[in-house]
Amino acid sequence: MAYWLMKSEPDELSIKGLEKLGSARWDGVRNYQARNFLRAMAVGDEFFFYHSSCPEPGIAGIGRISLAAYPDPTALEPQSHYFDPKATPEKNPWSAIDVAHVETFARVLKLDYLKQQTALAEMPLVQKGSRLSVMPVTAEQWAAVLGLR
DNA sequence: GCCAACGTTGGC
DNA sequence: GCCAACGTTGGC
């Protein structure tokens, strides 16, 4: 089993939103590196749910991959914010996955706090200028974050 | 709202 | 294939 971290704007989907829904489609990824990580995910893999572009950026909980990568339907929907005019049903470059709620942390592990953890120094998340929205997490990093809850 | 950092696009 | 211009991300 592998570990990941995925960013979401809580206005779109928050950890509490996912908790309420139980499961959701994770779509709209429009970056090739992030997409390739989506495609590397397997059912059962777990990920840290990160809140970005919000008053309190940080890790807010845990989710699990419930369905492996499939073509992202939002790329084909003209009314979608994520519409890609170059995508066709036959050739859709973008991928989505389905995720399930696992845990909502009692408090958000804030970005500035995560940055203080030497065990997390290698994570793209805490590195200056990194905008990657989907990234792998090592078993050591996973355990370190769990210890901060 | 600002702006640093990065990815993508498109002219050449 | 280079690289300038542009768009986006995302913290602050």
What domains can be seen in chain A, in order of their start residue? 3-143 (3.10.590.10)
* Nucleotide with smallest C1' distance to residue A84 CA: B8
Per-residue pLDDT band for A85 (boundaries 50, 70, 90) equals: confident
**Residues near chain C strand, CB within 7 A:** A 7, 30, 52-54, 57, 111-112, 131-133
Pinpoint the alpha helices (H) of chain A: 15-21, 32-39, 111-115, 139-146
What does the DSSP 8-state code read for residue A81? T
Per-residue pLDDT band for A86 (boundaries 50, 70, 90) equals: confident
Residue type, A30: R
Three-class DSSP category at A66 = strand
Q: In what order do the strands lie in the sheet with A134-137?
A: A23-26, A95-110, A58-71, A46-51, A3-8, A134-137
What mean pLDDT is reported for chain A? 95
Residue at the smallest CA–C1' distance to nucleotide B5: A129
- Over residues A67-85, the mean pLDDT reads 92
pLDDT at A38: 96
Q: Residue A43, Cα to own-chain centre: how many angstroms?
A: 14
**Rounded CA–C1' distance between A131 and C8, in angstroms:** 10
Q: Is a pLDDT exceeding 90 seen at residue A129?
A: no
* Nucleotide with smallest C1' distance to residue A8 CA: C10
List, for residues A21-73, the tens digit of each pLDDT value: 999 999 999 999 999 999 999 999 999 999 999 999 999 999 999 999 999 99
* Nucleotide with smallest C1' distance to residue A132 CA: C9
* Nucleotide with smallest C1' distance to residue A35 CA: B7
> Which of the nucleotides in strand B have any atom less than 7 Å away from a protein CB atom?
4-8
